[in-house]
Structure 1
Amino acid sequence: MRTSPIILKYSLFILLLALSFNASARQQPVCLLEQVMRERPILAELLTKAGYAPLLSCDNTYTILAPPESALRALQAASAGEVRATLAAHILKGNYLQSDLKEGSSIPTLAGSKLSIFRKKDQTLVNGVRILQADSKAKNGVIHGLDNVLAI
């Protein structure tokens, strides 16, 4: 029994449509906490230790200034209070894309301190620490990868 060309074309169309829906579902942004858990396991561990995991659920909008995992290893042995204080200086309430970080602006952190933003050529510096990977978007905010831990 031969399959008609119309049925083959229709079947191929349905298959391609299903694959495109699958691909778009995988590309949908996830909540900040889920994204951190996928991409930065040490940061996820420290956020949990500090008690910030519930804060980064999809209910609230935040910006995370994420130090490299290698720099965060030193914090793993610190007390929960020390981790909390350090990470609070790396979390901003609201959604700040790199383009929102204007030269000379001062942005409050979860810790209550203020971060100074500087622009040098095509680089953005936060308290003198360079943003290496900007604008990793999540459903409820954004993550910027830093080249070091911010001094608090």
Structure 2
Amino acid sequence: MLNKFTTIIAIILASLAFSSVSYAEHHGMKKDIVDVAAENGSFNTLVAAVKAAGLVETLKGEGPFTVFAPTDDAFAKLPEGTVEMLLKPENKDKLVAVLTYHVVSGKVLAADVVNLDSATTVEGQAVTIEVKDGNVMVNNAQVIMTDVEASNGVIHVIDTVLLPK
């Protein structure tokens, strides 16, 4: 019972965190994808990686972009040392490849995503998209929150880091 209560509270808090972003959007305070992710607090690793890869200005650009954004918990599921290895300056090309594999050109909302079976990423390879047991999956990652609006696109939150082949 306590676990169910904790889950409900976590969902409410996550909704509130994103609702303040929506409120700001509707009141003229436009926040781009990077700002939305940075202010949320669940994407610290992603934001640090975007900075290390030199992609901040790109993702603050006009877009529109669709970003499948892995949470800090998603990065924590990677084998130990993977994030640290990717953040080293000598691995910048690998980091850029991983991050751009999470981005699709254009604004693809959840209603559109469910009608797709794949999407070509900015990195160049395609990700597979399917609905499995009522959940939208991008490769092996489950979409856990959809349609987080930003001034230059949309974020879909995923529970696993996508790795290009």
**What TM bracket, shorter-length normalisation?**
0.7 to 0.9
RMSD: 2.2
Quote the Cα distance in structure 1 between the aligned partners of 2:21 and 2:99: 33
Larger Rg: 1
Residue 30 of structure 2 corresponds to residue 27 of structure 1? no
C-alpha distance after superposition, 1:2-57 (max 9, x if no partner): xxxxxxxxxxxxxxxxxxxxx99952251111111112222111011112111111
Structure 2 residue runs without a partner (length 5+): 1-19, 77-81
C-alpha distance after superposition, 1:78-114 (max 9, x if no partner): 2222211111110111111111113552211011001
Quote the Cα distance in structure 1 between the aligned partners of 2:39 and 2:111: 25
Cα 1:61–1:76 change in 2 (3 A) is farther
Structure 1 residue runs without a partner (length 5+): 1-22
Quote the Cα distance in structure 2 between the aligned partners of 1:90 and 1:130: 13
Q: What TM-score do you get using the length of structure 2 for normalisation? A: 0.70
Q: What TM-score do you get using the length of structure 1 for normalisation? A: 0.76
Counterpart pick for 1:41 among 14, 25, 44:
44
- Equivalent positions of 1:5-84 (< 5 A) are 27-28=24-25, 29-39=30-40, 40-72=43-75, 74-78=82-86, 79-84=91-96
The Cα of 1:121 is off from its aligned counterpart by: 3.8
Percent identity over the alignment? Answer: 24
